[in-house]
Structures are given as structure tokens and as C-alpha cells.
Amino acid sequence: MFRRQFMLIAASGCAQMAFGHGALAQSNDWSAILEEAKGQTVYWHAWGGDPKINDFIAWVGDQARERYGVTLEHVKLSSTADAVARVLAERDAGTLSGGAVDMIWINGENFAAMKAQGLLFGPFAEGLPNWVMVDVAGKPAVVTDFTLPTEGFESPWAMAQLVFEYDTARLPEPPRSLGALKDWIAANPGRFTHPQPPDYIGTTFLKQIAYGTLADPSVLQQPVDDASYAATVAPMWAFLDDVTPNLWRSGKAYPSNEPAMGQLLADGEVDISFAFNPGRASAEIAAGNLADTVRTFTLEGGTIGNASFVAIPFNAAHQAGAQLIANLILDPAVQARAQDPNILGFQTVLNISSLSADDQARFAALDLGVATLTPAEIGPALLEPHASWMVRIGQDWIERYGVAQ
Amino acid sequence: MTGDGLLRQAPRLTLILLTLPVAAGFLGTLMPAFWHDARGFHALWAWNGLPRALGLSLSTGVMATAGSLLITLIIVAGLYGSRGFSVIQHLLAPLLSVPHAAAALGLAFLISPSGWIARLFSPWATGWQVPPDLLILNDPWGLSLTFGLIAKEVPFLLLMAIAALPQTDAQRRLLAAQSLGAGRVSGFIVAVLPALYAQLRLPVYAVLAYSMTAVDMAMILGPTLPHTLSVQIVIWMMDPTLSHQSTAAAAALVQLLTVLGALLLWRLAETLLHRLLIGRAEAGLRAPWADGIARRIGAALGLFLAGALFLALGGMALWSVAGLWGFPDPLPESLTLKTWTRSAPDLIESGEMTLRIALLATLAALMLVLACLEAEHRFGLVPGARALWILYLPLLVPQVAFLPGVQVVLLRAGADGTWLAVAAAHLIFVLPYVFLSLAPAFRAWDPRIALAGAALGAPPWTVFVRLRLPMLLRPILTAGAVGIAVSIGQYLPSLLIGGGRIETLTTEAVALSSGGNRRLIGAYALLQMLMPAMCFGLALMVPALAFRNRHGLRVAA
């Protein structure tokens, strides 16, 4: 505990110095990092399933080359765990430096696993010059990853919040509470589903049900307590037992992940879908992949929200270049581009009011798109439960529903 | 002579090349199963989905293999030598070269309730304004998966049959049987099938092992509650908490034993059917009535499968240029080249890498296989059962059961993450297929031709280069095309050994398929298909050109 506070203090102090006129130790470190990074090729391992994200990463690469002479290579993963497994294999093989993975798009259990196993470089995030603009007070999820303090071992780059998507052409008024959703599913069998746990977004939906049905949702911020677990989550399973027979395919098959479920909405197989990116629907409409009658909504009482991060493995070959990219992603110009629904539609991690007038104007100029809720409309972001809930609920779901009857 | 000495060692060298990585990787991967008091096995037995998952691997694998073999034999028996057969022969190349993942995604779009077939008939014929809630894809019995596997394996077995047929003396055997009053089909069954199957046996076993352990196809078409065992193994291996490695290792061992068990059962069934066949033959099987039926069924099945695959790929190709395309529109609202122009640089880059790896791996495999077979012929070596099993190892051991171990070994040697390492890893999988595809033809080559050559004073190398290679040009090129297709389709080796730095069309396509973007997947799938298709096209065209005035070397058709 002491150690952590010390680091936070030290790091924030350094960051301020870096931005102040004094420009002492940290600034020297940073110019050393700039120097060292020049000419490096940074291998960023990031999920490659979305061409828009791939294009954005390529654009960040162009910026890095122009501004700093750093080359960015996007290693497209089908699952972030591939990169984690890769670093683990390298450590097992004794590759303690010069590793293949320079940077990983990461959060949640992948981060928890790597941090626990000492597979991460850092702390570095709070030493990045752009860190001072990050909205730590307003968006606590940028330093709390599934209740696990990030302690500077990963740097945030985008905010996400669960929003539901529906096609107004088929469904004029969506159910805006968990209870209403339950009634709607019963009245419209086969028109709703969720990705199959232990898929991340599928389990997130279960956690959202837990938030809405548990007698005291605050227990979700603590690790799972074995003794009381069964009784605690009983209302959640009762809810699922009720709706499952009326899910898409009667609950005998599920889409594998969020994009697969999004495709079901586009194909008209379901009427309500959900995503972790509040701007996804607008972006898909802009790209011509989704009908322009699709809109989004959130549930009364709020929906789960979290941040996406980048982390650097302990043995990364190009740690200087990776830190430079992590800092570049926090640049207001880059963040504003990421928030543009025609590009990505990701929510920024920055505190807009802390930015210069010019940078604030970048964000104000954005047209968020027809389907995106404004910050006022989107409602509160509930903190992610402790990672142990994700694992436990996912496992139990498999035991209960994983073998179709 | 040192050349001779080297040649004599070629089979041993090849076997070591296959055994070493597989064995090392196998140990490295499976060891975790026995750690911590075999915790992995306890976790595996405790999983309530195990019986169903294991049953699904077995049932889909056996059904797909039996189905593909039966369909292949009906097509050959009913149509061999006819005009229809040469049509099918020309369709083979593009069908064979479709990677499994691309075919699966295309078929999924074809048969799903919101898919192309449903769109073509909605709402005017079906009344569906929204897609019906029907469990067609991912059905719990694995029927969609079996269908997908059959559609992909029939072209492979047909190609193997076509390569083997000229060596079985099929025409004369058939003539002899027919002159004894047998019908076409019964003549084929009694006189040709035993010789043909002897040469088809190895490819059939490979199909069985592959079908039981396929991951990419099963992920897209297979059941999900539970998944087939092989898919579940990958899910466990990729689990971010890294806590299911031992369960995955234990399951990989069970998977391996199941494959071995299924192969044994298959062998048993072969013996039984062989007895039955002899009995029928002795009872005087004639059955001329079967000819017309077999011809029609063969043509229908061939057309149906080819049609399904072409429609599936057509659908994907259309998606690659589609604008908004909602249900129940039979065609996209608008067409756009956005997908292609946006991804052109990526497509070119990964396409070039894919081809480079495939060519190197295939060339190395061809040289090794030819050296082995020539050594076998020249020194009278008889490959034992053990050598055969070793050749089979990479095809029988599920990839997930040994590749992670190979990755660790390569890391230790500091040789991973380069395209050469990936090509070397591909060689492990390409070599057996090249061998399986080439050996029957090579061994069936009439040794009297060599004798005649020697009698005219030609040294062994001259016989090899001037007589054997040209006469075997067709099977060699076919084997090369098979090798290239196999290499292009590899996913796990490229991903693991390449350390994620080597981007091939397949690693890109599978990464994309997790995102479900049909437009981009369509572009990659099309390119993935075109590349090997051109190789197969060359394998058919070059000999036809080279032998246009060599009557005896033409395909007996």
C-alpha cells in the first residue's frame, strides 16, 4: 500500500515537472526516451478484428513516423490472450530481453494475469508527459482496471461503456430497465441473445444482470466470497432461468462475441444487441454496415463501463518506442480522432476542461453521429466488478447452460 | 559415392525432421497435463460437457470421412471416363484451394436463417419479413459442421483418387470385369476398388484425423453448447487467466487417444467390408441396374457440393463489394470497392508473404520426398510400419497438442518470428501431404522402364532425371499444388511460430473472422482461394501442354 501511494505521488510529481518550465529529471528522461526510440520498430499486439480500429492504428503509426521517426507495426490478434501466452512462452524459454511483443492492447483479466506474474514493464504510465490531461478524477476507471489498481503498469487510451442497440424500424420503443427487458424477451421470443460466456462481452451482460438483481451490488467490488456466493447470485440465475427459453435459438446456440452479435442485428435476426463502444452503432451506420434506423439506449441506474489500456511486457525489445506510442495516443489530436464516429467513435480518457482552447474545440467540433448518446444521456458508468466475479460467473454459466438440453 | 551415401540417408533424415519437432513439441505441450498431481485430468473429468464434446468430435469426424469417401467413390464409379468426370476434374482446383475457414464462413452465410438462400426466397415464397428463429447453423448434432467438412474433403479425396487411378490400371480391369458380364459400377467395386483403396487409404486416414480435430471450421459451423473437443482445447489454451493450460493438455491427450481409437475402428471396418466385398464378388455381383443410378447420383452429388461451395464463395465475393445488405434483400443495396481499395496494401503484403512461405516449404518438401522415394527404389528399402506412423504424426497429433511446445523450443534457439522459421514449421505439415500425394504414383511407376534405361547404358541419375521425373510430372506438380494449398491454409503454425510478426492471408483472415466483418473476410477469402487455385491450374495445365503429343501420358479419360 505504501509503495503504491509513493509511486503515485512520485509519478504525478514527475509528470507535472515534465510539463512545467523547470523540466528537470523526468523531462531529461523523456528526451532520452525520445532519442532512444528514434528508428525503433514497435510491435503493437492488438485485436485485429475490426478494420476501422486497424485503420486507426495505422494512422497512429503514420503520426509516430512523422513526429518521432518511430515505426509502428500492428500485430493483428484474434485474441489478446495470444500475446499474453506469447510473453509467457518467452519467459519460460528464458527470453528476458528483446522479446517480440512491445506493446499490448489490454485490460481486465489479461492485465491481472500479466501483472500478477510479473510480466509487465513499469510503472511508466504516470510518467508520460500527456498523463496530466487524463481525467483521473472524473473517470476512475482509467486507474482502476476491474477493481485492480493499475499502478502505472498500463496506460489508458479509450473509455467504453455498455450501451444497447436497437432498430427503430422494428422496435419503436426499447425496454429501458432490466425488468422491462425481461418482459420484452418473454413477449418477443427469439429476438434477443448475448455472446456465449466466457466471452468477455457475454459475461459483462451477466454482470449487468447482477448489478440489477443482487440485493447489495456493492459486494461486486470485493473478491468473490465462497461462503455467501451461491445465495448472493441466486437472483441473477433466477433472472437468466426465466429468459433463457425465450432467447434466440431458445438458448441452444449463442453468438461467439460482440461483432458476431452485431452481425445478427444487421441481419435482422435479433432486435436488440449491445456493445461496449457507445459510438459503435453510429460508426457502423456511417460505414454503411448498419441501417440508419438503429439507435442506442442504456438502462436506468447505469451500465458497466471501463477503460482500454496499453501495457508493455517486461522483456519488450523496444520499450522506449512503446512508451512514446503510449504517450502519443493520449495526445488531444489523436484522442479527438478516436472519438470521431467516422473514424472509431471511442470515448476519450482525457479531461476536456483541462485542455487548451484549441484542443477543446477539436472535441466540440465532433458530430457524434445519429445513434450516439450524449454524455448527459448515457447515464452513470458502473465500475467493473472484481475480476474474480467474471471468472466465477463465467464458469458457473458454462455449468448451468453450457450443455444444451 | 558420396551422393549415393547422402541419398541413402534421405529417408532417415526426413523421419528425424518430422519426429524431432513433433516429439519435442508434444512433450512440451502435454507435460502440463501431469503437473500438480494431474490436476488437468481432474478438471477435465469434472467438466460436464466432456462426453458430448468427445462424442461430437467422433461423430462429426467419422460421418464426414465416411460421407466424403462414399461420395468420392460414387462419383468415380459412376462417372470415371465420362464427359462429366472431366468437368468435375476441372472444378477441382478452385474447390480444393478454398481454405477451410473461408469455406465455412461462406457456407454459414449460405445456410443460416438470414443467409443467402433464405434471402433469395423471402418474403415472396416464405413470407418471412424477418429471419425465422431456426437452429440450422451451430446445430447441437454437428450436421452443419459435417456438411462443411464433406464439402471440403470430397475435392481432396477426388484429387487423390484421380492421381491414383492411372496407377491402378483401372481401364483394363474394368474392361475385364465388364467382359465377364459385370456392370460398370459392380465392375468398379470388384475389380478397381481394392487397388484404388489401397492407394487412397492414407489420404482417408488423414481426412479422418483432420475432421476429428478441425478447429477453424468447427468454430464457425460447429455446435457451441458444448463445442467439439478440439475447439474447447483451443479455448482453454487461450484462456487469459492461464489457469487452464493443464486442462487443455489433458484434453489434448484424450483427443489424441480418441483419434487413434477411431483410426483402429476404421481399420476394422475396412477388413469387414473387404470380406463382404469378396463374398459378393464370389456370389457373382453384376448389378447392371446400378450403373444409371450411380451415374445420376454421382453427377448430382458432385454438382450439389460444387454448387454449394461456389455459391458460398460467390456470396463472400459479393460481400467484399457490398454496401448495406440487409434481410431479406437478395442482393446488396449498393456496390462499392471501398473494402478492396482500403485493404489493398495489406492484401498485397500478406499475399506476398504467404506465397513466399508456401513456395519454400513446398519446394523443400518435394526435394525431400523425391529423395526418400528414389532412395527407397534404388536401395530396395522397404518402409516399415514405424516409418509410416512417423510420417503420419503431424497429421494425427492435433496441432494444438504440439505447436506450443515447438514455439518454446524455437524461442530457446532464438529462431522464431522469421518467415524462414514459419516455412520450416509449415514443412512439418506440408511434407506428409506431399508424400501421401506423390508416393503411390512414384511407387507404382513400372520399374521395367528403369531396367530398360539401364540396359541402354543410362546411370541411375539419368534414369531418374530423364525418365522418371518427366513421366511423373503430373503427380509431382499435383503434389506441389497440394503442398502449396496446405501451406496457405495453415493458421496455428503461422501465428505461433511467427510470433505474430508474420502476417499471412490465413492469419489475417482468421483474425478478421473473429470480428465477423463479412466484407473484409470476403476479400481475404477470395485471394486465399485464388492463389492455390492458380497452382492447381498449373499442375493440370503444364502436363497437358508438355504431353500434348505423348498419348500414353495423358490422363486416361
Q: Which of A233-247, A337-351, B131-145, B502-516 has the lowest mean pLDDT?
A: B502-516
CATH of domain B64-224+286-315: 1.10.3720.10
**DSSP secondary-structure letter at B119?**
H
B52, B224, B503 member nearest A253 (Cβ)? B224
For A42, list phi and psi in degrees, rounded to 5. Answer: -95, 125
Q: Which residues contact B242 (CB under 8 A, 6 or more apart)?
A: A84, A85, A88, A113, A117
pLDDT in tens, B414-451: 776 789 999 999 999 999 889 877 887 888 888 888 88
- What confidence score (pLDDT) does residue B555 get? 54
Strands (DSSP E) found in B436-506: none
**Residues of chain B contacting A402 with CB distance shorter than 8 Å:** 48-49, 225-226
Tell me which chain B residue has its CA closest to the CA of residue A264: B114
- What confidence score (pLDDT) does residue A18 get? 35
Quick one: what percent of chain B has pLDDT higher than 70? 95
Reported ipTM: the value is 0.78
Mean local confidence (pLDDT), A312-339: 95
B48, B135, B412 member nearest A249 (Cβ)? B135
- What confidence score (pLDDT) does residue B19 get? 86
> What are the residues facing A75 on neighbouring strands?
A45
- What confidence score (pLDDT) does residue A38 get? 93
- Rounded Cα distance, B25 and B114, in Å: 43
- Rounded Cα distance, A51 and A100, in Å: 23
Angle at A241 between CA A238 and CA A244, to 5 degrees: 145
Mean local confidence (pLDDT), B108-135: 90
Domain ranges of chain B: 1-38+338-557, 64-224+286-315
3-state secondary structure labels for all residues of B256-276: HHHHHHHHHHHHHHHHHHHHH
- What confidence score (pLDDT) does residue A376 get? 67
Name the residue among A139, A158, A141 with its Cα closest to residue A149: A141
Number of CB atoms found within 10 A of residue B492's CB: 21
β-strand pairing of A154-161 with A148-149: unpaired
Mutate to test the interface with A, among B52, B117, B138 (most CBs of A within 10 A): B138
The whole-angstrom distance between residue B279's C-alpha and the CA centroid of its chain comes to: 33
User: What's the Rg (C-alpha) of chain A?
Assistant: 21
- What confidence score (pLDDT) does residue A193 get? 97
Whether A50 sits inside 8 A of B517 (CB atoms) is yes
**Residues of chain A contacting B137 with CB distance shorter than 8 Å:** 253
pLDDT in tens, B163-201: 778 777 878 888 888 888 778 888 888 888 888 998 788
**Residues of chain B contacting A117 with CB distance shorter than 8 Å:** 242
A2 pLDDT more than 60 = no
Tell me which chain A residue has its CA closest to the CA of residue B500: A75
- What confidence score (pLDDT) does residue A337 get? 94
B522 pLDDT more than 50 = yes
Name the residue among B60, B9, B25, B7 with its Cα closest to residue B393: B25
Written as nine digits, the cell of B368 is 525431400
User: Domain B1-38+338-557: which topology?
Assistant: MetI-like fold (1.10.3720)
**Residues of chain B contacting A189 with CB distance shorter than 8 Å:** 133
What are the C-alpha distances in Å from B262 to residues B57, B65, B150, B218? Answer: 10, 11, 18, 18
- What confidence score (pLDDT) does residue B180 get? 81
Chain A residues 242-261 with a CB less than 8 Å from chain B: 248-250, 252-254, 256-257, 259-260
Contact assessment for residue B516 and residue B109, using Cβ atoms and an 8 Å cutoff = no
Proportion of chain B in helix, strand, coil states, percent, rounded to 5: 80, 0, 20
Whether B114 sits inside 8 A of A170 (CB atoms) is no
- What confidence score (pLDDT) does residue B516 get? 67
What are the C-alpha distances in Å from B367 to residues B7, B219, B323, B364, B532? Answer: 11, 35, 47, 5, 20
For A294, list phi and psi in degrees, rounded to 5. Answer: -75, 135
Contact assessment for residue B291 and residue B184, using Cβ atoms and an 8 Å cutoff = yes
A89, A198, A262 member nearest B516 (Cβ)? A262
Q: Which of A20-34, A70-84, A193-207, A345-359 has the lowest mean pLDDT?
A: A20-34
The DSSP line for B57-70 is HHHHHHHHHHHHHH
Confidence label for B391 from pLDDT (cuts 50, 70 and 90): confident
Angle at A304 between CA A298 and CA A309, to 5 degrees: 125
Domains plus CATH for chain A? 2-156+309-376 (3.40.190.10), 163-305+382-401 (3.40.190.10)
Work out whether the CA dihedral A141, A146, A152, A153 comes out positive or negative. Answer: negative
Whether A267 sits inside 8 A of B114 (CB atoms) is yes
Enter the pTM of the model. Answer: 0.78
Q: Which of A3-7, A32-36, A77-81, B104-108 has the lowest mean pLDDT?
A: A3-7
Higher pLDDT, A329 or B536: A329
Tell me, yes or no, if A82 comes closer than 8 A to chain B by beta carbon: yes
A320 pLDDT more than 50 = yes
Name the residue among B535, B69, B112, B484 with its Cα closest to residue B270: B69
Mean local confidence (pLDDT), B333-338: 89
Tell me, yes or no, if A96 comes closer than 8 A to chain B by beta carbon: no
Mutate to test the interface with B, among A42, A76, A248, A272 (most CBs of B within 10 A): A76
pLDDT in tens, B481-520: 889 988 988 887 887 788 767 888 888 877 776 666 788 8
Residue with cell 457440393: B305
Burial B46-56 (b: 16+ CB within 10 A, else e): ebebbebbbeb
- Rounded Cα distance, A74 and B75, in Å: 47
CA atoms within 13 A on the CB side of B557: 17
Written as nine digits, the cell of B196 is 484404388
Tell me, yes or no, if A29 comes closer than 8 A to chain B by beta carbon: no
Quick one: what percent of chain B has pLDDT higher than 90? 27
Contact assessment for residue A267 and residue B114, using Cβ atoms and an 8 Å cutoff = yes
Tell me, yes or no, if A405 comes closer than 8 A to chain B by beta carbon: no
B32 pLDDT more than 60 = yes
A90, A254, A259 member nearest B515 (Cβ)? A259
Tell me which chain B residue has its CA closest to the CA of residue A82: B238
Mean local confidence (pLDDT), A164-168: 96
Mean local confidence (pLDDT), A262-286: 91
Number of CB atoms found within 10 A of residue A116's CB: 12
Mean local confidence (pLDDT), A132-158: 90
Whether B49 sits inside 8 A of A109 (CB atoms) is no
pLDDT in tens, B194-242: 889 987 887 898 899 889 988 878 888 999 889 999 888 878 876 656 6
* 3-class secondary-structure state, position A296: strand
Residue with cell 479531461: A351
B356 φψ region: left (φ > 0), alpha (ψ -120 to 50), beta (else): alpha
Nearest Cα of chain A lies from the Cα of B395 at a distance, in angstroms, of 23
Angle at B375 between CA B371 and CA B378, to 5 degrees: 135
Angle of helix B505-513 relative to helix B338-378, nearest 10 degrees, comes to 130
* 3-class secondary-structure state, position A300: coil
B158 pLDDT more than 50 = yes
Whether B500 sits inside 8 A of A170 (CB atoms) is no
Look over chain A and give the mean of its residue pLDDT values, rounded to a whole number: 87
Asked, as a colleague might, if the bond just before B330 is cis with ω within 30 of 0, I would say no
Mean local confidence (pLDDT), A217-236: 94
Whether A253 sits inside 8 A of B225 (CB atoms) is yes
Higher pLDDT, B510 or B455: B455
Q: Which of A45-54, A185-194, B334-343, B401-410 has the lowest mean pLDDT?
A: B401-410
- Rounded Cα distance, B236 and B254, in Å: 14
Torsion of CA B259, B264, B267, B272, to 10 degrees: -130
Look over chain B and give the mean of its residue pLDDT values, rounded to a whole number: 85
- Rounded Cα distance, B383 and B442, in Å: 14
- What confidence score (pLDDT) does residue A46 get? 93
**Residues of chain B contacting A259 with CB distance shorter than 8 Å:** 514-517
A168 pLDDT more than 50 = yes
- Rounded Cα distance, B30 and A23, in Å: 54
Work out whether the CA dihedral A62, A63, A67, A72 comes out positive or negative. Answer: negative
